């Protein structure tokens, strides 16, 4: 199970490296209003769901609602983003990873368990914090 998540995360890192530029560079990528608003929404949704998922206590209906809300936030990013590459490509890749994790939480992405899904979202949010300039960003923990 953990090997699947590590393999998946390694794939995310490779994708981001390919589209994104130098990881060693301290300069952070720009964000726009849409990205900041929706990434905060995703962070808040994840924070609220994290304990339920990791303790296997999230009711299936709540898991589906979580996925639906994450999907809506990711959709808004895709519709309203004004960033140019490489920031645009990286945020869209992260958004895709977040959406895959949320689908796993809801049980519709069977390649990962719900716990693997929430961990994948955690990792994507950690990458976002390292790569993007988002004033006032609060980490999950």
2-41 confidence digits (pLDDT tens) = 445 544 454 555 444 544 444 445 689 999 999 999 999 9
Dihedral angle of Cα 34, 39, 40, 41, to the nearest 10 degrees: 90
pTM of the model: 0.80
DSSP result, 43-86: HHHHHHHHHHHHTT---HHHHHHHHHHHHHHHHHHHHH----TT
Structure tokens at 141: 């923990």
60-88 confidence digits (pLDDT tens) = 999 999 999 999 999 999 999 999 999 99
């Amino acid at each position: 199970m953990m090997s699947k998540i590590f393999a998946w995360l390694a794939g995310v890192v490779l994708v981001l490296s390919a589209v994104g530029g130098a990881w060693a560079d301290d300069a952070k990528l720009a964000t726009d209003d849409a990205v900041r608003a929706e990434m905060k929404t995703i962070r808040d949704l994840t924070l609220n769901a994290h304990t339920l998922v990791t303790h296997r206590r999230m009711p299936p209906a709540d898991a589906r609602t979580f996925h639906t809300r994450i999907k809506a936030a990711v959709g808004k990013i895709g519709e309203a983003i004004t960033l140019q590459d490489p920031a645009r490509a990286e945020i869209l890749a992260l958004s895709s990873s977040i959406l895959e994790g949320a689908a796993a939480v809801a049980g519709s992405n069977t390649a990962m368990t719900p716990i693997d899904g929430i961990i994948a979202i955690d990792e994507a949010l950690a990458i976002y914090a390292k790569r993007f300039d988002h004033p006032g960003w609060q980490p999950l923990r």
